[in-house]
């Protein structure tokens, strides 16, 4: 199925090549633009089905994701599991995530966390923290693509629809910067970042 996932991303134009500034602050010659996949409901449904089927026996009562792509993923995985789908937004300080808009997690409620692309695990950890603050029990984490350079242990079952190894560089060691390749911040206009 991994090959089919990569084919879905390629067919939707979601695998971009160039010089990209990742959310983690790292640079990469390859970027997986999940929004290009999520614009196609048929692809979104297939990918979310993989996550839903993997965690069906964990019996989550709610699926939670971070804003913004996580909203779509949480909704679709929850729809397929027949449970609620909620999302965690940035807190006032921009340093973590919180549930707003009347979203609740009851103490002990079984929560499945979903996200799009895993690089450092920062967004997933922020959602985990928000769930734990409300007393929820995390039954697993499902992502579309795991592109982390090293395996990340979240302490709960983990599933990725696809695993890929993409080279990343710290800005001070980036050969693309040294070569003068324009740096693009994905999700923004295709202009240089600085």
Domains of the chain: residue spans and CATH: 2-178 (3.40.50.2020)
Long-range contacts of 88-93 (CB under 8 A, 24+ apart): 88/64, 88/126, 88/127, 88/130, 88/131
Token pair recorded at residue 119: 């690089």
Tens of pLDDT, residues 101-154: 999 999 999 999 999 989 889 999 999 999 999 999 999 999 999 988 788 999
**Residue 55 and residue 43: Cα distance in Å, rounded?**
19
Mean pLDDT calculated for residue range 84-100: 93
User: 48 near 73, Cβ under 8 Å?
Assistant: yes
Q: What is the DSSP letter of 172?
A: G
What would the pLDDT profile of 160-194 be if each residue is shown by its tens digit? 999 988 788 999 999 999 999 999 998 654 444 44
| Nearest to 19, CA basis, from 194, 175, 189 | 175
Q: Residues 17-72: pLDDT tens digits?
A: 999 998 778 899 998 888 899 999 999 999 999 999 999 999 999 999 998 889 99
Q: Give percent of the chain with pLDDT exceeding 70.
A: 94
Q: What's the confidence (pLDDT) of residue 190?
A: 44
Which residues have a Cβ under 8 Å from the Cβ of 34 and sit 6 or more positions away?
Answer: 14, 69, 116, 117, 144, 145
**Cα→Cα distances 117→45, 65, 84, 92, 111, Å:** 16, 12, 22, 24, 19
Q: Residue 30 CA to chain centroid, in angstroms?
A: 16
């Amino acid at each position: 199925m991994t090959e089919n996932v990569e084919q879905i991303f390629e067919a939707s134009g979601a695998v971009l090549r160039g010089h990209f500034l990742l959310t983690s602050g790292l640079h990469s010659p390859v970027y997986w633009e999940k929004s290009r996949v999520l614009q196609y409901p048929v692809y979104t449904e297939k990918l979310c089905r993989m996550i839903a089927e993997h965690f069906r026996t964990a019996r989550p009562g709610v699926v939670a994701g971070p804003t913004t792509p996580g909203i779509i993923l949480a909704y679709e995985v929850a729809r397929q599991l027949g449970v609620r789908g909620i999302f965690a937004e940035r807190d006032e300080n921009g340093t973590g995530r919180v549930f707003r808009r009347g979203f609740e997690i009851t103490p002990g409620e079984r929560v499945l966390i979903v996200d799009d692309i895993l690089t450092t695990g920062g967004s997933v950890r922020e959602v985990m923290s928000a769930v734990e603050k409300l007393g929820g029990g995390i039954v697993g984490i499902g992502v579309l693509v795991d592109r982390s350079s090293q395996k990340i242990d979240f302490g709960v079952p983990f599933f990725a629809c696809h695993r890929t190894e993409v080279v990343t560089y710290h800005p001070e060691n980036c050969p693309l910067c040294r070569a003068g390749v324009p740096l693009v911040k994905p999700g923004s206009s295709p202009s240089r970042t600085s």
